[in-house]
């Protein structure tokens, strides 16, 4: 293995391109922060502060996902597996671990310093990777220089914002402005020339990360059931356990039964596609937190409130469905499939919201989760029948 090979760009049409072990390792490290963010969301909602919980969760997940996605697209285009690439990837993974270590402080004390430090470390590693591209890929030197300039400037901005009083309105405005710049930066950098990413490789990367996030939701629910069995019976837990599994299994089915991504259909579609995944991954993690809240409410009625726990699951799951629908609503097949494909998810979301609104006063939270699971299974059944 050579120390440093010029990053000239990989073949975007390479046959049998697969996810590397290093990329899988990166995903597993990143998902630690996902689990901690979901745990923080659950705890702060349980304290009766849903607004603060959603704000902190969104901030943490935005940083985590954006760093992960930028590395994913970069690796799809330039991963040559030399020693320097591996070392810089390890540096980015270290930043992800630092970010994860700072997640509890964000939710408990609104202290963003450690989390921002980890995020900046991840981005510095990416800046160094782009500096290699600037030297090794003359065709995309302008793209690399724009990334270097933009990423460096924005990271300085994140560090400067830490000097502002925590969580005042002007500091929130600064966070929002910097986040918007982070989202626009890849579009500006690749305005005329795109990097040589591999479509099938990206589809596999996102699919594998989806499996990991779904697994974290299952694990969160399992841990909550284990801790609650000392105070609640198996019969009381059954509706939540069955309904939660139906929701997660149905989501897996809907996701992996999706049509082709058609990432090359438009110059701007890959950016929208990637940003929709921010909503999808965040909402999947939030479903796990919601199920844990429902289990806690079942074990200790009144501690959280059946309405709050049920709406956490419903709202998160509806965002899952709508973000997935927005990604693939344009990719219908036959006419019969097209009708179900276009209206099935919106109708299901409306039905879930109505059921939660009506049943929240009469059923306990576990019963509502079971109803939602039945609706999700019905959606899967209708879509599968239409495809057949």
Domain spans, the chain? 21-189, 199-387
> Given this model, what pLDDT does residue 334 score?
47
Q: What is the pTM of this model?
A: 0.92
Interaxial angle between packed helices 50-78 and 169-189, expressed in degrees from 0 to 180 and rounded to the nearest 10: 20
Phi, psi of 51 (to 5 degrees): -65, -45
Region of residue 81 (left: phi > 0; alpha: psi -120 to 50; beta: else): left
Contact between 62 and 128 (Cβ < 8 Å): no
Residue 363's CB is within 10 A of a number of other CB atoms, namely 18
Phi, psi of 232 (to 5 degrees): -135, 150
Q: What is the mean pLDDT of each run of 10 residues along the chain (388 residues)?
A: 84 88 93 92 90 91 94 94 94 95 91 92 96 94 96 93 72 86 94 90 93 89 74 76 92 86 81 94 94 86 83 95 86 58 89 88 82 94 82
> Given this model, what pLDDT does residue 122 score?
96
> Given this model, what pLDDT does residue 230 score?
67
Cα separation, 93 vs 30, whole angstroms: 7
Which pair of tokens denotes residue 20? 């590397």
E strand intervals along 180-283: none
> Given this model, what pLDDT does residue 83 score?
94
Contact between 232 and 241 (Cβ < 8 Å): no
Tell me how far CA of residue 68 lies from CA of 95, 96, 312, in angstroms.
11, 9, 26
């Amino acid at each position: 293995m050579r120390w440093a090979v010029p990053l000239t760009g990989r073949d975007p049409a390479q046959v049998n391109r697969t996810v590397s072990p290093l990329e899988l390792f990166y995903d597993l490290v990143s998902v630690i922060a996902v689990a901690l963010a979901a745990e923080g969301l659950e705890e702060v909602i349980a304290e009766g502060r849903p607004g603060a919980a959603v704000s902190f969760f969104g901030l943490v997940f935005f940083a985590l996902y954006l760093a992960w996605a930028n590395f994913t697209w970069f690796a799809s285009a330039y991963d040559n597996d030399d020693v320097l690439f591996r070392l810089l990837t390890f540096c980015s993974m270290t930043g992800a671990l630092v970010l994860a270590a700072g997640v509890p402080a964000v939710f408990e004390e609104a202290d963003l310093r450690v989390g921002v430090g980890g995020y900046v470390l991840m981005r510095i590693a990416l800046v160094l990777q782009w500096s290699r591209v600037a030297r090794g890929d003359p065709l995309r030197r302008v793209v690399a220089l724009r990334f270097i300039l933009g990423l460096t400037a924005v990271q300085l901005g994140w560090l400067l914002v830490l000097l502002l009083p925590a969580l005042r309105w002007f500091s929130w405005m600064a966070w929002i402005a910097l986040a918007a710049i982070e989202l626009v930066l890849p579009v500006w950098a690749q305005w005329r020339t795109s990097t040589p990413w591999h479509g099938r490789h990206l589809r596999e990367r996102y699919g594998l990360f989806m499996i990991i996030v779904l697994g974290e939701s299952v694990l969160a629910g399992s841990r909550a059931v284990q801790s609650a069995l000392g105070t609640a019976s198996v019969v009381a837990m059954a509706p939540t356990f069955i309904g939660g599994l139906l929701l997660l299994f149905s989501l897996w089915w809907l996701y992996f039964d999706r049509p082709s991504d058609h990432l090359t259909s438009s110059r701007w579609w890959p950016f929208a596609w990637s940003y929709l995944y921010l909503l999808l991954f965040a909402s999947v993690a939030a479903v796990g937190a919601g199920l844990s809240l429902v289990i806690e409410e079942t074990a200790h009625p009144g501690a959280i409130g059946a309405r709050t726990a049920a709406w956490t699951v419903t709202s998160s799951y509806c965002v899952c469905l709508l973000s997935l629908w927005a990604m693939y609503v344009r990719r219908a097949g036959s006419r019969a499939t097209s009708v179900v494909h276009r209206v099935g998810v919106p109708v299901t979301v409306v039905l879930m919201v109505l059921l939660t609104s009506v049943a929240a006063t009469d059923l306990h939270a576990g019963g509502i989760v079971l109803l939602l699971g039945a609706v999700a299974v019905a959606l899967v059944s209708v879509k599968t029948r239409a495809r057949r």
